[in-house]
């Protein structure tokens, strides 16, 4: 049975309200050493929907679980048909003002690192370096038999060759790059095996029901330990994958600052939650710090 991902949570009645005051974020970045933890909300301005915000994809879509993917050839066919179509749109997404602002903070030594829960590669496309992809990336594919990695573009070309004319109209695209297709639209889509050993190919992402590699978690914990504060961008912190780092920072006495329009599970542990759209808010912070974004003026 597919495990239903957590759709939402109910904020406590005494949860502090969000603010529009950016000063705490400006102050933290002015001293440097800030670790960024980003979620799907940072990429919505690039045309990629989030999971749990208003109109989030989990209201209409249950992401693939690791157990379904590995246990069912039918599930893999359905996944790859939907993901192949979604990749055409997902792969064309470009960084927005929020991604560019984070990269600018790092260039000016205000950010010590970036941990992202996103699988879209937009932080790197904006110029951020050393990004820790907590949940992996859709631009890589791994064989579950031989462990060989290969570029997603290479798989896309092989799938195109095996499925000429496959071009159904999707109802939408999800944060995991999965397009909304019916079983009838999936039809008899042909999945290709690993070119090296003939094994099962899987995107190099952490599915629901799959654990983040322990060494990756420990690397992130070291980044939290070495940071002066934690800045959470566009994450509801509904699942433990990201919330554990907020808890760690709080336990270590480090300020936690959140920029997210909706309440999050990390709010009780945060010094502040700024309830503003991410792109404009992060650009405004850069301007107040005198940091140019995309090489433009900071005035």
What's the per-residue H, E or C state across 114-169?
EEECCCCCHHHHCCCCCCEECCEEEEEEEECCCCCEEEHHHHHHHHHHHCCCCCCC
DSSP 268: G
pLDDT tens readout for residues 137-184: 999 999 999 999 999 999 999 999 999 999 888 767 777 777 888 889
- Residues contributing to the annotated binding site for Zn(2+): 143, 146, 194, 197
Q: How far apart are CA 133 and CA 17, in angstroms?
A: 30
Return mean pLDDT, the chain: 89
Confidence band of 38 (pLDDT split at 50, 70, 90): very high
Please give the average per-residue pLDDT across 270-292, as a whole number.
97
Q: What is the pTM of this model?
A: 0.89
Question: Are 61 and 174 within 8 A, CB to CB?
Answer: yes
B/e letters for 249-283, b = 16+ CB within 10 Å, e = fewer, are bbeeebbbbbbbbbbbbbbebbbbbbbbbbbebbb
In this prediction, residue 175 carries a pLDDT of: 72
Instruction: Choose the CATH number for 59-92+138-205 among 3.30.1600.10, 3.40.50.720, 3.40.47.10, 3.30.465.10.
Output: 3.30.1600.10
- Residues contributing to the annotated binding site: 39-59, 117-120, 143, 146, 194, 197, 234-236, 278
Among the listed residues 125, 147, 131, the one whose alpha carbon sits nearest the alpha carbon of residue 219: 131
Neighbour order of strands in the sheet with 272-274: 132-133, 111-116, 34-38, 229-233, 256-259, 272-274
The full set of domain ranges for the chain reads 19-48+95-135+212-299, 59-92+138-205
Point out the catalytic residue in the list 123, 135, 219, 250: 135
Stretch among 11-15, 66-70, 271-275 having the lowest mean pLDDT: 11-15
Look at residue 114 and tell me whether its pLDDT is greater than 70: yes
Look at residue 55 and tell me whether its pLDDT is greater than 60: no
In this prediction, residue 172 carries a pLDDT of: 73
What torsion, rounded to 10 degrees, do the Cα atoms 171, 79, 215, 49 define? 0
Domain 19-48+95-135+212-299 has CATH 3.40.640.10: no
In this prediction, residue 39 carries a pLDDT of: 96
In this prediction, residue 51 carries a pLDDT of: 58
Distance of CA 189 to the CA centre of its chain: 27
Instruction: Determine whether 135 is an active site residue.
Output: yes
Look at residue 57 and tell me whether its pLDDT is greater than 60: no
- Residues contributing to the annotated binding site for NAD(+): 39-59, 117-120, 234-236, 278
């Amino acid at each position: 049975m597919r495990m239903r991902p957590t759709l939402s949570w109910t904020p406590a009645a005494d949860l502090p309200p969000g603010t529009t005051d950016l000063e705490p974020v400006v102050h933290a970045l002015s001293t440097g050493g800030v670790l960024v933890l980003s979620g799907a909300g940072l990429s919505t301005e690039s045309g990629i929907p989030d999971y749990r915000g208003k109109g989030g994809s989990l209201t209409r879509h249950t992401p693939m679980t690791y157990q379904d993917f590995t246990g069912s050839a039918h599930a893999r066919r359905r996944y790859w048909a939907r993901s192949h179509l979604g990749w055409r749109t997902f792969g064309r997404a470009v960084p927005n003002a929020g991604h560019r602002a984070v990269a600018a903070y790092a260039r000016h030594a205000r950010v010590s690192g970036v941990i992202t829960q996103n699988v879209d590669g937009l932080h790197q496309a904006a110029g951020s370096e050393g990004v820790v992809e907590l949940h992996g990336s859709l631009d890589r594919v791994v064989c579950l038999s031989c462990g060989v990695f290969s570029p997603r573009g290479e798989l896309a070309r092989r799938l195109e060759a095996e499925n000429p004319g496959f071009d159904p109209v999707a109802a939408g695209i999800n944060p995991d790059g999965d397009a909304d297709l019916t079983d009838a639209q999936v039809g008899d889509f042909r999945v290709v095996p690993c070119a090296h050993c003939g094994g099962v190919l899987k995107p190099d992402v952490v599915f629901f029901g799959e654990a983040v590699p322990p060494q990756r978690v420990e690397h992130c914990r070291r980044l939290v330990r070495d940071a002066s504060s934690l800045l959470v961008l566009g994450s509801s912190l509904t699942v433990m994958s990201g919330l554990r780092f907020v808890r760690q920072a709080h336990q270590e006495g480090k300020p936690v600052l959140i920029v997210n329009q909706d309440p999050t599970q990390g709010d009780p542990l945060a010094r502040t939650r700024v309830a503003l759209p991410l792109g404009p808010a992060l650009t405004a912070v850069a301007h107040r710090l005198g940091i140019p974004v995309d090489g433009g003026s900071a005035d």
